Amino acid sequence: MRLRFFPLGIVVTLSLLVIVIALTATVRSIAAPSATPAWLQAHVGDSDGQISTVVLERARALYLKKVAQGAVRNPCYFAMDATRPGDMGNGVLGRRYYVICEASQSFHAISSGHGGGRNLKGTADFSNGRRCSKNFGNAMDSELTAGGAYMTSEAKTSFKGFYRTGAKQDVAFQRTFIQFDGEGEAANARQRVIGGHAAQVLRGMCMRKSPNSSYADHDGLVPFGKLVDYAGGRSNGCTSWSPTDAQQIIAMVKDNPTTLYIYPESRDIAAVAQAAKSHSPSGEAPYWNASCLKEIGAPKFWPRKTLEPIIAQYRQDHPAPPPQPVPMCKGP
């Protein structure tokens, strides 16, 4: 058997060509949204705990795009369907926030709050109920949810005050906030301080003498309140999760950013509203959760260029009263 030897230049050229072809195929496989794997397709649907087709397709496309750009190395990504009900009644919360980890074939649907909006009485009503969202928008101080593409960013933990447990123990409440950076109509997410956090807040604040506390102010006082869980309610436009879910999500994205896609965008809202106006058959209209659409009639998107002047004028016509000092706590 005789061995044939090719000139070194040809061997090097062929080797480089093979490497380029391999790298090109790898990049294309990452950059191009691949077909939904069978295990994930099993979770697609419009029932509670499932993810609707358009929401998954857009969430995957965003994630794969950011992976290809080198902006994301996190094996998991998020999606939210804000057209679904947040409160199912009888203490049951709608599962409309999705944590998807394709490498480990993991899919979890959990509850999440939606923007409550505001009712500027006599001027404009863009408020939302606990169950379904009718109004969406990206205006400053609107407290509305804006759909679109987001990236998780830095985590900020801040002290909110003390609360008393059922065992009569005083506990410092610190809440972590994950900042979101948005694109397109959601590009002002950082300006609006839009992000994700646990659906917990201190209510009924008062000040208590505690000079030895590391949280005490220059007068030796610390804030004190009642810890309220509002996982079944609304938010100020942020994505809010139950305390347990928040702890897990924050651990996943701390120092390891990933993508979040929130449905619907303004184009979806406009299309659904038009379909409702023209009484198009539901099968022909763009996707919207059927039960919420029946409840709200037609959704509305409030663009910032329209809504921000309205909010500014309302603030001018209804100036806020001077801030009052937080009262001292009564009792022990």
Asked if pLDDT for residue 300 goes beyond 80, the answer is yes
Q: Which of 257, 139, 245 is nearest to 191 (CA)?
A: 139
Tell me, what's the pLDDT at 226?
A: 96
50 in a domain, yes or no? yes
- Average pLDDT score over residue span 141-154: 97
Q: Which of 330, 332, 328 is nearest to 221 (CA)?
A: 328
Q: Model confidence at 278, in pLDDT bands (50, 70, 90)?
A: confident
Q: 95: which strand partners? A: 111
Name the residue type at position 164: R
User: CA separation (Å) from 267 to 16, 80, 105, 274?
Assistant: 46, 17, 31, 11
Question: What token pair was written down for 276?
Answer: 């409702």
- Alpha carbons within 13 angstroms on the beta-carbon side of residue 239 total 31
Which residue is listed with tokens 């009485």?
Answer: 121
Question: What token pair was written down for 320?
Answer: 């806020």
Least-confidence region, from 126-140, 146-160, 184-198, 269-283:
269-283
80 in a domain, yes or no? yes
Structural domains of the chain, count: 1
Question: What token pair was written down for 277?
Answer: 């106006």
Least-confidence region, from 96-100, 206-210, 213-217, 227-231:
227-231
d(CA 264, CA 167): 44
- Average pLDDT score over residue span 163-189: 95
219 in a domain, yes or no? no
d(CA 5, CA 213): 81
d(CA 28, CA 276): 40
Q: Model confidence at 2, in pLDDT bands (50, 70, 90)?
A: very low
- Average pLDDT score over residue span 13-22: 40
Tell me, what's the pLDDT at 293?
A: 96
CB of 76 closer than 8 Å to CB of 258: yes
Using left for φ > 0, alpha for ψ between -120 and 50, and beta otherwise, residue 307 falls in: alpha
- In this structure, what are the phi and psi dihedrals at residue 248, rounded to the nearest 5 degrees? -70, -45
Burial class (CB within 10 angstroms; exposed 0-12, middle 13-18, buried 19+) of 318: exposed
65 in a domain, yes or no? yes
Q: What is the DSSP letter of 328?
A: B
Question: What token pair was written down for 155?
Answer: 């985590």
Q: Model confidence at 1, in pLDDT bands (50, 70, 90)?
A: very low
- Average pLDDT score over residue span 171-194: 97
Q: Which of 205, 214, 224, 204 is nearest to 162 (CA)?
A: 224
Tell me, what's the pLDDT at 236?
A: 84
Which residue is listed with tokens 């610190």?
Answer: 174
Q: What proportion of the chain, given as a percentage, has pLDDT over 70?
A: 88
Q: What proportion of the chain, given as a percentage, has pLDDT over 90?
A: 79
Asked if pLDDT for residue 258 goes beyond 90, the answer is yes
Give the model confidence (pLDDT) of 3-13 as tens digits.
444 454 443 34
CB of 153 closer than 8 Å to CB of 177: no
d(CA 286, CA 265): 12
- pTM given for the model: 0.86
- Average pLDDT score over residue span 125-138: 95
Asked if pLDDT for residue 162 goes beyond 50, the answer is yes
107 in a domain, yes or no? yes
Average pLDDT, the chain: 89
5 in a domain, yes or no? no
Tell me, what's the pLDDT at 282?
A: 58
Q: Model confidence at 117, in pLDDT bands (50, 70, 90)?
A: very high
Dihedral sign, CA of 151, 157, 158, 160? positive
273 in a domain, yes or no? yes
- Domain containing 103 equals 29-155+179-191+243-317
Burial class (CB within 10 angstroms; exposed 0-12, middle 13-18, buried 19+) of 22: exposed
- Average pLDDT score over residue span 78-104: 94
Asked if pLDDT for residue 277 goes beyond 70, the answer is yes
Q: Model confidence at 17, in pLDDT bands (50, 70, 90)?
A: very low
- In this structure, what are the phi and psi dihedrals at residue 65, rounded to the nearest 5 degrees? -65, -45
215 in a domain, yes or no? no
Question: What token pair was written down for 195?
Answer: 């992000």
Question: What token pair was written down for 105?
Answer: 């074939």
Q: What is the DSSP letter of 48?
A: T
- Average pLDDT score over residue span 102-124: 95
d(CA 180, CA 296): 28
